[in-house]
Amino acid sequence: MEIPARIEQAVGDSVTRHLETELGDRGLLLTAEGLAAAEAEAARRGARLLTSVIDQCYPTSRHESRALAVEFESERAAARLGAALAFGAMTARVLVSGERELAGSVELLCAIFNLGIGLVDGVCDEDAETGGALLELVQRQDLAQAAEAPRGRGWLRATLSPALAADWTVAFTVDVIEAFFETLHAAYPGEAWSRLRRGVGTQLDAALGAERESVIRSAGQRAPERLLECSRLTSVIPFQIIEALACGDGAPTEPSAGTQLGEAVWRIDDLVDLCQDARSGSLNGVLLAATTGAGERDLLAALEHLVGSTDIACAATEAAERLLAGLQLAGAPEDYPRTAFLHFIQRYAGIAPRPMS
């Protein structure tokens, strides 16, 4: 779908303005100095974690005299992978900041998880047919059982069709998923942690199921309410999983810090991607509500409606309130890792740094 430039500009300006106002009013935006420092630390941490993930995905390199050479499409692509890893690690650190130190193995586990879920989402956004095939394949493998009992290397890759195996992004995604389960068993080994692992496997299956419903949906196949819930679950469950992995023992009282952060990121993600999702046909909760809120609207009419309504402002307010609630529930102090986490939110939302007071 083609979106006139004036509408895209108006939507983007409205989203940025309202998010900046609501986040700023709650003290959730960083100054230029704070943003730069957090960004540099995230880049360092992401590069270190990427090295660890490559070693985990391709362990033969540990026993060779020369390091395994892995070539990415570009430096930017490698940086994106590093950023996804760093965000997973920082989310975990925020969620345990009020309780205890995060073990290095658990930080790596949460980083790998966030990278894996991001790669799956990227495949689905790029090509719905390929994404749907990947999701179906992964879900057929009984993830709760994979979490409960270790499996040999290649258990998932061996199930790829020739077409999927030839797609390097899919192949790498599958390797990361295998690495996640291997790291899960290493970080939480044996019978003592079987309940935690199985719970994580069950949650992951639910997240992938919601993603699959959003990818393979067709007109009239699912009610708007169910699609809205799928949109929500694909954002919220990953944060709940990171919370379970980071905290390790006991289910937190709902709404937990992880749930609140997931709700916030769901709304921010949908706001930032309004026009992009309208073009691609991807599921977007804000857009879905706008197309069904007052009779059926087409997507272009829905975007125009959003510019003139209070919907964007309301979603921005809800996002900011949930973000603050999540940070407060986690007991995150007013410094690192909270600033590192907020740096990702601010950069993603495209908000300029706050002026020095």
Helix (H) and strand (E) counts for the chain? 16, 0
What are the backbone angles phi and psi of residue 99, rounded to the nearest 5°? Answer: -115, -60
What are the backbone angles phi and psi of residue 209, rounded to the nearest 5°? Answer: -65, -40
CA distance 156 to 171: 10
Encoded tokens for 267: 């709304």
* Domain boundary assignment for the chain: 1-30+252-352, 46-62+73-228
Distances, alpha carbon 281 to alpha carbons 126, 161, 204, 252, 295, in Å: 11, 26, 24, 35, 19
pLDDT digits (tens, 9 = 90+) for 143-157: 999 999 999 999 999
> Which pLDDT belongs to residue 219?
41
Inform me whether the pLDDT recorded for 340 exceeds 50: yes
> Which pLDDT belongs to residue 293?
57
Chain centroid, CA 330 distance in Å: 19
At residue 201's C-alpha, the angle toward residues 142 and 205, to 5°, is: 65
Percent with pLDDT over 70 in the chain:
91
In the chain, what are the helix, strand and coil shares in percent, each to the nearest 5?
Answer: 75, 0, 25
CA distance 95 to 327: 8
CA distance 205 to 147: 11
> Which pLDDT belongs to residue 291?
85
- In the chain, the amino acid numbered 148 is E
CA distance 317 to 283: 21
- Per DSSP, the three-state class of 31 is strand
Dihedral sign computed on CA atoms, order 232, 234, 236, 237: positive
Please report, to the nearest 10 degrees, the dihedral formed by the alpha carbons of residues 323, 324, 329, 333 taken in order: 110
Residue count of the chain: 357
CA distance 21 to 320: 9
CA distance 200 to 202: 5
Distances, alpha carbon 9 to alpha carbons 14, 15, 245, 267, 289, in Å: 8, 10, 40, 19, 21
pLDDT digits (tens, 9 = 90+) for 185-234: 999 999 999 999 999 999 999 999 999 998 876 444 678 888 899 999 99
Inform me whether the pLDDT recorded for 70 exceeds 80: no
What pTM value is reported for the model?
0.93
Inform me whether the pLDDT recorded for 280 exceeds 70: yes
CA distance 264 to 323: 5
